Amino acid sequence: MPCDTATPAPLGTASALPSEDIPRIYVACLAAYNNGCLHGRWIDATTPDEAMGQVRAMLAASPLPGAEEWAIHDYEGFEGASLSEYASFETVCALADFIGEHGRLGAKVYGYFGNDLNEARAAFEDYAGEYRSSADFAEELTRESGTEIPSSLEYYIDWQALARDMALNGEILVFQTGFDEVHIFWTR
């Protein structure tokens, strides 16, 4: 049985590269896949209805008549967040929106909370900000609380140890997203 040659090229080839950084998924026809033929389509993660419409069109063009089953076999633009091959389009599109809003940090928070999008969203309600280091956060917090530190003692304070203790005690979560770029969240 010949494979459909009109299927978009798989990830990694020049024709598969997106013109924009829109999160997208590669949805494959399982009937074709199970018969040794690759047939699928890259779909932008915009709306669930639009995605399902594109999947229906892809299945209708399958080299195997009556194809009904599909799975997500690849994805890109999700900043390292994980997607199940059987994730609903509601989940895919909601995650794409979340990643669009929070970027790489959103993906890290999503992973930290066991890929639970509701927990990841809730965490941003307790976002304390971006800092060069967690030590900078601990120092700023201490100074803004009105604590007077005599200048003769300033160099004896280990701000990094204080920040580490805050994290170990469960007071804060720290996510590093780049060199001199950490994000702090208060824990509940």
Q: How confident is the model over 19-28, as pLDDT tens digits? A: 457 899 999 9
**CATH 2.60.40 fits domain 125-186:** no
Beta strands in 70-180 (DSSP E): 70-76, 127-131, 172-178
Checking if the pLDDT of 73 tops 60, the result is yes
pTM of the model: 0.82
Q: Which CATH architecture has domain 14-115?
A: Roll (3.10)
Checking if the pLDDT of 11 tops 80, the result is no
What pLDDT, on the 0 to 100 scale, is given for residue 68? 95
Going from N- to C-terminal start, the domains of the chain cover 14-115, 125-186
DSSP assignments along 92-109, one per residue: HHHHHHHHHHHHHHHHHH
How far is residue 30 CA from its own chain's centroid? 26
Checking if the pLDDT of 18 tops 60, the result is no
CB 111 within 8 Å of CB 80: yes
What pLDDT, on the 0 to 100 scale, is given for residue 2? 56
With cut-offs at 50, 70 and 90, classify the pLDDT of residue 170.
very high
Least confident of 7-16, 56-65, 108-117: 7-16
What pLDDT, on the 0 to 100 scale, is given for residue 6? 43
Checking if the pLDDT of 71 tops 60, the result is yes
What pLDDT, on the 0 to 100 scale, is given for residue 64? 93
In sequence order, the 6+-apart residues with CB closer than 8 A to the CB of 78 are 23, 95, 96, 99, 107
Helix (H) or strand (E) holding 182: strand 181-186
Checking if the pLDDT of 9 tops 50, the result is no
Checking if the pLDDT of 17 tops 90, the result is no
What pLDDT, on the 0 to 100 scale, is given for residue 3? 62
66's tokens: 């009556």
Q: Which percentage of the chain shows pLDDT scores above 70? A: 89
At residue 61, what are phi and psi to the nearest 5 degrees?
-90, 5
